[in-house]
Amino acid sequence: MSKLKINTSDWIDLLARQADVSKKDAGDFIKALLTVMEEALLAKDSVRIKGLGTFRLQWNAPRKSVDVNTGEDIIIDGYYRVAFTPDAELRDLANEPYAHLEAVAIDEIEEGQKVKKEVDDSGEIPLKHFDEQVTEIKDILSEINALNHTDDDTQQDSGKENTEESVAGEPAAETVVDQVADESDDVIEQIVDKPADKKPKEKRSKSKDRKKQKLRAESMLKESKSKKRESSDRKGASEKKSSVLSDFEEKARKIPASKSRRLDLIFIGVLAGGLLIYLAVDHKIFTTISRYIESYRIQRELAPSFEKPTTSPESQDFDASQSDFGPDESVSPVEDKSHDIGQSQADDLEQLFNQARSYHDFIATEEVIPGSRLTRIAERHYGVKEFWVYIYEANRDILESPAKIEPGMLLKIPRLNPVLADKDNPRCIEYALKLQEEYLKD
């Protein structure tokens, strides 16, 4: 297909005929037009002609290339080139044959299905997750133990002691999962605390990373477990346990072992300190604690089905007991003071988590743009994407599910309690993740 070609003289002819001027005048005019445009462009100016478009210079940067014949690297100099942008009017006229066509998103439906699938995948029972994680960790640990068998016999010894101690401390109602978790907790700490000057094995470091992630989840399990333990052998074993522990501490102090062992002992000491706190408190306000544990257990059991944390009468009671709890604990004779503070802070958090959240104070209102996600918005406002759950909670009235966020929605961004949404506190993030799991399940 050959197009009709029109050159400058044809243009001049047409102009002369239509504008009713002589050919010479028309020619002069066109020549003047072209020279003026050229001069302007050579002076790096842009030329705009109404009804046609804009001519301007575009700089093409120098670039590397390869000489086709010699294969040598050459540099192509930068140069200017005239770029033309048609006016909107001309552009639309030119595009008239295709103007009725519109951009079509071809996989909107597939996208929706994908989101659903993801939700289904993540909608498992949290306990099952823990089970899987525990077995996984156990596998990894056995591998590591096999690797390190020769060079840390001493560590293994102390680990064994530790497990023995903990087994002795919890005689009866201990499930298999708990034991496994307990064991792995101890050994995990050993590995994490181990100084880096030892032979760095790739496998170990890799698993270390993985474990650090899991540690977060584990700590939750650990907590619940220690509480359970407390309740199960509160009456009988408490005396015995404390004596065992103090014995152990003495032993720990006696051994002037290597650096790695010292780290182990520090960890064990911290663990023992924590238990002592529990026991001391246990003696003093036995009844309130038992009530607290009851409510905690109930909440744990209800956890898979809960929609939103609400203030039940139990937690009201528990609040009251907490206020008793505070001063008592601070008076209690404990050597590890920092640990003590950490504990009470953690309990405050627990309290905060269990309170019903209501949102009245909003930082901003945001209109959802295409491609936006709750996590993105959360990251922008709170700095941590995990806190999207709170935005979701504040917008339950318009959001059916977290996935059903659509462009044009007006989301209210709540002002969060700085203690609740503390991005430096792993427990806050952990709690947000727990909420996330709940919401994604729906």
Partner 1 sequence: MKHKELIAAIADRTNRTQEDTGNLLQTAIDILTSQILEDSVINLQGFGSFELKRRKERLSVHPATQVRTVIPPKQTVNFRQSGVLKVKLKEIPSHE
Query: Please, which residue, 103 or 176, has the CB nearer to partner 1?
Result: 103
Query: Please, which residue, 349 or 377, has the CB nearer to partner 1?
Result: 377
Report d(CA 407, CA 134) in Å as an integer.
41
Query: Please, which residue, 50 or 254, has the CB nearer to partner 1?
Result: 50
Least Cα distance to 61 among 41, 85, 80 occurs for 80
Report d(CA 270, CA 222) in Å as an integer.
14
Query: Please, which residue, 7 or 305, has the CB nearer to partner 1?
Result: 7
Question: Least distance to partner 1 from the beta carbon of 74, Å?
Answer: 16
Question: Least distance to partner 1 from the beta carbon of 9, Å?
Answer: 9
Question: Least distance to partner 1 from the beta carbon of 106, Å?
Answer: 5
Which residues of this protein are in contact with partner 1, per CB under 8 A?
3-8, 11, 14-15, 18-19, 21, 25-26, 28-30, 32-38, 40-42, 44-53, 55, 57, 59, 61, 77-84, 86, 90-91, 93-98, 101-108, 111, 370-372
Question: Least distance to partner 1 from the beta carbon of 63, Å?
Answer: 13
Question: Least distance to partner 1 from the beta carbon of 36, Å?
Answer: 5
Tokens of 250: 């003495």
Query: Please, which residue, 61 or 176, has the CB nearer to partner 1?
Result: 61
Question: Least distance to partner 1 from the beta carbon of 122, Å?
Answer: 19
Contact 281, 328 (CB under 8 A): yes
Contact 171, 237 (CB under 8 A): yes
Amino acid code (one letter) for 153: D
Q: Is 193 exposed, middle or buried (0-12, 13-18, 19+ CB in 10 A)?
A: middle
Query: Please, which residue, 28 or 209, has the CB nearer to partner 1?
Result: 28
Question: Least distance to partner 1 from the beta carbon of 5, Å?
Answer: 5
Contact 354, 315 (CB under 8 A): yes
> Would you call 76 helix, strand, or coil by DSSP?
strand
Query: Please, which residue, 101 or 146, has the CB nearer to partner 1?
Result: 101
Rounded CA Rg of the chain: 36
Contact 377, 413 (CB under 8 A): yes
Helix H segments across 149-201?
153-169, 176-193
